[in-house]
Structure 1
Amino acid sequence: SNPFAQIGERRDVEIRSEPVQLDVKPLPPNAPPSFSGAIGNFAMATDAKPKSVQAGDPITVTTSIAGRGNFDRVNAPVVEDERGWHKYPPSSKFKQDDEVGISGTKTFETVLSPNEKKQALPVLAFSYFDPAKEQYVTLRSEPIAITVQGGAAVSQNVAASQPAPAPTGRPPTAAVATSKPQDILYQLTDRGRTTESFVPIYTRRVFWAAQSIPLLALLSFSIWKIRRTKINNREARRIAALQHEAAELMHKLRRKNATPQEYYAEASRVVRVKAALASGSREVEPNMVNAETAADTFKLDDNSRDQLRRLFEQSDEWQYSGAHNGPGRISPENRREVLDLIENLK
């Protein structure tokens, strides 16, 4: 038996750790255009399929960024030269190698559509800040050869297709030198001969030159109409892809078994997608939308603006640290508050 069992007293004791000072340095100025806030050490690999397409067909470019750092700030690589290409919003998935999500691989799939003949994919660039070297590092994809058929307007030389003048069937009349009488009878009966041509009009250059004017006008109008249709189709496909992604995300948000990290990541993503859809003809990419941009797009009041800021802050906290100071699951009240906020973004 314990002799001190009757005289002992149990009580809670609060123990505090000593404060730890942190030296937080600001990032250097003049960040590269492809820098999205990633800090750590990363490597990039790129592949594309298919490598032989027709102009306007999609090419899926897969980019894997592996390493150690804040993967929530790792965005899809930037296309350095988009001339002759149409880029659709990328999708991403993350495979973590540790418990906190600092080490792993993030894979992006970006669909590119060539508008003209191309021999290689455009260069993709991804930038991050290396804290060990204390400088920005830019990774670029290796050249990937492709084959693009069609897309170049073929100009035909109308004059080259003209038929050769048809023979008249009469041999050329040789000039015959005749002696003209010098009396008055010659003046009355031997009139001067006028030369007339029986060559068909379609064998003359003037005819084809006149016909080429409406033909060129029709060809120019057809090319303009085709280009306009392609532009409208690209915009329609972009809007359809964003609407489909928003619907899928809203369906996921209504699940009750999602972890807080998944829930807040999906919630912030659907806000970015809806803001991109609401931008209209400006074609804002979802990855470029933050809390302030979304609040300005939907013209939120101060209360809703604060709720949106808290949503993005919670998403960053879960994604960056891999852990959260709050509960391990989302309460029904918080879930309802987030859903009401997102559903009212119109």
Structure 2
Amino acid sequence: MQQSGENLETINGRSYDVVTFKTAIAAARAGKFEIGPIKAKAQVLTARRPNTPRSRSPFDLFNLDDPFSDPFFSEPFSQFGERREVEINSEPVAFEVKPLPQNAPPSFSGAIGNFTMTTDAKPKSVQVGDPITVTSTISGRGNFDRVNAPAVEDDRGWHKYPPSSKFKNDDEVGISGTKTFEMVLSPNEKKPTIPLLAFSYFDPAKEQYVTLRSDPIAINVQGGAVPAPAPVASQPAASTMPAAASAAAAKQDILYQLNERGRMQSFTPLYARPIFWIAQLIPLLALLGFAGWKIRQARIDNRDARRIAALQHEAAELLRKLRRNDVSPREYYAEASRVVRVKAALARNVDPNTVDAETAANTFRLNADSRERLRRLFEQSDEFQYSGAHNGSERISSENRRDVLELVEHLHV
């Protein structure tokens, strides 16, 4: 625990030095619990023992011994009391944790406390497909480790990317502060406003769920689908037929002398003509092209096989590391989300870095419960990667470790 203050208090006429230590805890389940007793050690001053006559040197015949040899000068506080180490025990504290109501809204991620939310988007004038950074700021007091990014209520016509987050605490234990999320949205079509964002939490004072929604933010999206080229008006084809003679040629009884010579023909053998050898090259070139295509396909198949083998090896190594108990939370959640991306990439034959939680859930055809667990896994990984605040111990509980390991091991197409 971290010391947060020290002051003097008077109790029953006696002054006490009061040292305050603060920490924050969160219950993982409902029920009755007891904390303490807390044990600590302290240095205190107790009543001084009776004075003993100061020994004098046998050579000090005239009482001229050094006056600074008196114990008062070597231990000045001994005149007020004797310093001792004592053990202090506190009284145990009992309390009861109530279960949360069943009607939790879809955007509830486990946040409990009292919060406010503001949202902004930049830039507000873009082209179709351009990125827009939506910044959501959640401030208040509560368990910020369960405060996740606000949910997009209607993402039709939008492409969204995983959000990043950072936390700034206002107290010593991290239950009061501000958490900022940045989410990149890209419009696939013209849109007048940013989609509404929703964040839900449970208010213990009101004992009810509260859902915060962002105000509509107007934007200007230009562009759209590329228009189809206009059909070109067809021109009437010129007639290739000669015009009919207006009058029939008169019959000729005598043939006149022909002044134009007829078409000349060559008697060169076919194999000696260039066109013959050119025609022979066509199938040869086609054969060479087919052989080159087969070689290229073999190389592509070999490269794909090496890529698949590398991804399978990476997934096996990551699963082996997830079964260890000495992995930090940041590394554990990063490796768990990487396993999901690698498995989804193997199933869809895509780059693992392009796989998000929604793509993975659709790939493995997960039910609603597994989709929610997978979404929390990706959000927890992003939080540890971008926020820089852990808000808890440096160890993962065995229950959370078992839940994550069971989820990633049972992901199959």
Please name the residue that 2:187 is paired with: 114
Choose from 380, 385, 391 the match for 1:319: 391
Q: Deviations over 1:268-317 (max 9, x none)?
A: 552454244234257326996579979xxxxxxxxxxxxxxxxx9xxxx9
- Structure 2 residue aligned with 1:280: 344
1:162 aligned residue: 233
Q: Give % identity.
A: 62
Name the counterpart of 2:97.
Answer: 24
Q: 1:70 to 1:18 in 2, by over 3 A?
A: same
Residue 85 (1) aligns with residue 158 (2): yes
**CA-CA distance at 1:163 after TM superposition:** 6.5
Cα separation, partners in 2 of 1:22 and 1:54, compared to 1, 3 Å: same
Per-residue Cα deviation, 1:208-233 (whole angstroms, up to 9, x for no partner): xxxxxxxxxxxxxxxxxxxxxxxxxx
1:154, CA displacement in angstroms? 2.4
**Does the CA-based 8 Å contact 1:56-1:115 persist in structure 2?**
yes
- Distance in 2 between the 1:29 and 1:276 partners? 30
Q: Residues 49-89 of structure 1, C-alpha deviation per residue, up to 9 Å, x if partnerless?
A: 11111111111111111111111111111111111111111
Q: State how far apart, in whole Å, the 1-side matches of 2:376 and 2:129 are.
A: 35
- Is the alpha carbon distance of 1:2 and 1:80 closer, same or farther for their aligned partners in structure 2, counting shifts above 3 Å? closer
* Aligned counterpart, 1:40: 113
- Summarize the Cα distance change of 1:139–1:276 in structure 2 as closer, same or farther, 3 Å threshold: farther
Unpaired runs of 5+ residues, structure 2, are 1-46, 53-81, 238-326, 346-354, 361-370, 379-383, 396-407
1:1-346 equivalences in 2 (<5 Å): 2-4=48-50, 14-155=87-228, 158=231, 162=233, 264=328, 266-280=330-344, 283-284=356-357, 319=391
SS of the aligned residue for 2:154 comes to: coil
Is contact 1:119–1:145 with CA below 8 Å preserved after alignment? yes
Looking at structure 1, the residues matched to 357 and 376 of structure 2 have their Cα atoms a distance apart, in angstroms, of 14
Aligned AA for 1:39? I
SS at match of 2:357: coil
CA contact (8 A) 2:357 2:374 kept: no
Q: What one-letter code is carried by the residue in structure 1 that aligns with 2:122?
A: K
* Matches of 1:103 and 1:292, distance apart in 2: 22
Aligned partners of 1:120, 1:272: CA distance in 2, in Å?
A: 35
Distance 1:157 1:139, change over 3 A: same
Q: Does structure 1 conserve the Cα–Cα contact (< 8 Å) formed by 2:118 and 2:137? A: yes
**Could you list the per-position Cα deviations for residues 232-265 of structure 1 after superposition, in whole angstroms to 9, with x for gaps in the alignment?**
xxxxxxxxxxxxxxxxxxxxxxxxxxxxxxx956
Q: Residue type of the partner of 2:344?
A: G
Number of the residue aligned with 1:194: none
What amino acid does structure 2 have at the position aligned with 1:123? Answer: L
Equivalence for 1:179:
none
Structure 1 residues 72 and 5: CA distance shift in structure 2, 3 A = farther
Could you tell me whether the CA contact under 8 Å between 2:107 and 2:151 is conserved in 1?
A: yes
SS at match of 2:193: coil
**What secondary structure is seen at the aligned counterpart in 1 of 2:93?**
coil
Q: Is the 8 A contact 1:272 1:290 kept in 2?
A: no
Residue 266 of structure 1 deviates from its aligned partner by: 3.1
Counterpart Cα distance in 2 of 1:265 and 1:65: 23
Question: In 2, are the aligned partners of 1:117 and 1:152 still within 8 Å (CA)?
Answer: no
Q: 1:21/1:291 Cα in 2 relative to 1: closer, same or farther (>3 Å)?
A: farther
Structure 1 residues not aligned, in runs of 5+:
167-262, 295-311, 325-329, 332-344
Q: Relative to structure 1, is the Cα distance of residues 88 and 279 closer, same or farther in structure 2, using a 3 angstrom cutoff?
A: farther
Q: CA RMSD in A?
A: 4.1
The structure carrying a bigger helix percent of its residues is 1
Q: Name the one with the larger strand percent.
A: 2
**CA deviation vs aligned residue, 1:150-201 (integer Å, no higher than 9, x gap):** 232424563xx536989xxxxxxxxxxxxxxxxxxxxxxxxxxxxxxxxxxx
Counterpart of 1:254 in structure 2 is none
* Amino acid paired to 2:116: A
Distance between the aligned counterparts of 1:132 and 1:77, measured in 2? 22
Moved over 6 A (4+): 9-12, 163-166, 290-294
- 132 and 107 in structure 1: CA distance in 2 versus 1, 3 angstrom threshold: same
* SS in structure 2 at match of 1:23: strand
DSSP 3-state at the match of 2:102: coil
Q: Structure 1 residue 120: deviation in Å?
A: 1.1
Please say if residues 31 and 136 of structure 1, whose CA atoms lie closer than 8 Å, have aligned partners that are also in contact.
yes
- Residue identity matched to 1:162: A
| TM-score normalised per structure 1 | 0.50
2:299 alignment counterpart? none
